[in-house]
């Protein structure tokens, strides 16, 4: 009787989910990069140098795949997402951050920033690299400082960056893409984090077809498709597993952040807090974001509140993907120029 009751309950839940969640059912999304792309992030940071890279995000809408964005970006002589070369003899003003600083999802906003930069003594460097967080930035900054002197650091962060650990990048076993692997497990491959390779000149139709093939071979998608409750059950267990380590990760990142302050000096560090889409919609930073605000305030660093000053709205982000779109990056650019860059007093 117990087994029968559980089976009936499971069927009822499945039916309810199919009725009420059909419009929100988006079990598959894939990110594509042309090859060569990211360096291994273990000893070499950034992307392949002097390369044009194609990046595309494809999402399943419940009936078909949609291309959310499909962009090209170029790297300089040390693999950073910018047009101007890095000169070791010039002092550097560096922006460090994740994909929001890199400019994923549209034309990188750093391109516009460097076009309007006319200071001959200092150069700008875009140390924004997708998927990175506070712990990764310590090593990225150390790498860049080994190439030339850093004058000032702008840390452009989103709240989620404080949840992240250091990762490395590895080609997957079939060399069809690459994976972000936690530093402590850098000899392993985590297949569900694969970012797939594409030819830079692939057509839109071929890209969508490739997504269909990946979906067809995706066992997890099959579970999502035929058992809607699997999505909820999996998210509950994933959340519990994540919560167990969350405080540990955040506390570790706070210690690492304090090491960055010690290494470079509080007077040489400014922070731009870029809001995520959910924070813009609710009109306030998440509880973690508010705690990070307080943590930064306790160190008396220059802090620019991107939510209060940026004028961002939900329409400034890709709805499914969460990255800013062209209008979003335009607002981030203006926020940086008007409220962050203007705080520097530099000599020509």
Q: Where are the domains of the chain?
A: 28-343
pLDDT at position 26 is 47
pLDDT at position 190 is 63
Pick the CATH number of 28-343 from 3.40.50.1110, 3.40.50.1820, 3.30.750.24, 3.40.190.100: 3.40.50.1110
Burial tier of 161 (Cβ tally within 10 Å: 0-12, 13-18, 19+): buried
72 HSE (CA, 13 A, CB side): 8
Return d(Cα 283, Cα 308) in angstroms, integer: 9
- State yes or no: cis peptide before 36, omega within 30 of 0: yes
pLDDT at position 247 is 86
pLDDT at position 226 is 56
Question: Which residues have a Cβ under 8 Å from the Cβ of 257 and sit 6 or more positions away?
Answer: 134, 295
pLDDT at position 28 is 75
Task: For the chain, list residues with pLDDT below 50.
Answer: 22-26
pLDDT digits (tens, 9 = 90+) for 176-221: 899 888 888 777 766 567 899 999 999 999 999 999 988 877 765 5
pLDDT at position 62 is 76
Query: Which one, of 134, 130, 128, 139, lies nearest residue 165 by Cα?
Result: 134
The total number of residues shown for the chain amounts to: 348
Calculate helix-pair angle for 228-264, 134-147, nearest 10 degrees. Answer: 40
pLDDT at position 43 is 87
| Contact indicator for 75, 83 with CB cutoff of 8 Å | no
As a dihedral over the C-alpha atoms of residue 90, residue 46, residue 286, residue 246, rounded to 10 degrees, the angle is -120
pLDDT at position 172 is 84
pLDDT at position 161 is 97
């Amino acid at each position: 009787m117990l087994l029968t009751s559980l089976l009936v309950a499971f069927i009822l839940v499945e039916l309810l989910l199919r009725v009420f969640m059909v419009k929100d059912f988006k079990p598959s999304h894939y990110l594509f990069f042309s090859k060569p792309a990211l360096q291994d992030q273990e000893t070499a940071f950034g992307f392949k140098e002097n390369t044009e890279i194609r990046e595309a995000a494809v999402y399943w809408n419940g009936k078909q795949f949609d291309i959310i964005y499909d962009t090209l970006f170029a790297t300089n002589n040390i693999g950073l997402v910018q047009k101007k070369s890095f000169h070791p003899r010039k002092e550097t003003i560096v922006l460090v951050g994740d994909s929001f600083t890199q400019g994923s999802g549209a034309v990188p906003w750093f391109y516009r920033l460097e076009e309007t930069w006319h200071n001959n003594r200092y150069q700008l460097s875009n140390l924004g690299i997708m998927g990175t967080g506070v712990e990764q930035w310590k090593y990225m900054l150390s790498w860049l400082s080994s190439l030339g002197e850093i004058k000032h650091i702008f840390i452009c962060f989103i709240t989620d960056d404080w949840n992240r650990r250091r990762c490395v990048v590895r080609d997957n076993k079939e060399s069809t893409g690459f994976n972000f692997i936690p530093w402590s497990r850098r000899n392993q491959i985590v297949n569900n984090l694969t970012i797939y390779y594409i030819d830079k000149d692939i057509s839109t139709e071929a890209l969508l077809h490739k997504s269909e093939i990946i979906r067809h071979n995706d066992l997890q998608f099959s579970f999502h498709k035929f058992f809607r409750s699997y999505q909820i059950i999996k998210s509950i267990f994933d959340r519990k597993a994540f919560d167990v380590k969350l405080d540990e990760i955040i506390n570790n990142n706070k210690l690492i952040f304090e090491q960055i302050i010690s290494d470079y000096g509080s007077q040489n560090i400014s922070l731009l807090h870029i809001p995520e889409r959910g924070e813009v919609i609710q009109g306030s930073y998440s509880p973690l974001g508010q705690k990070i605000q307080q943590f930064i305030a306790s160190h008396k660093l220059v802090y620019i509140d991107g939510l209060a000053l940026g004028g961002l709205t939900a329409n400034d982000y890709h709805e499914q993907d969460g990255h800013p779109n062209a209008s979003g990056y335009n607002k981030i650019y203006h926020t940086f120029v008007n409220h962050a860059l203007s705080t520097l007093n530099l000599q020509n």
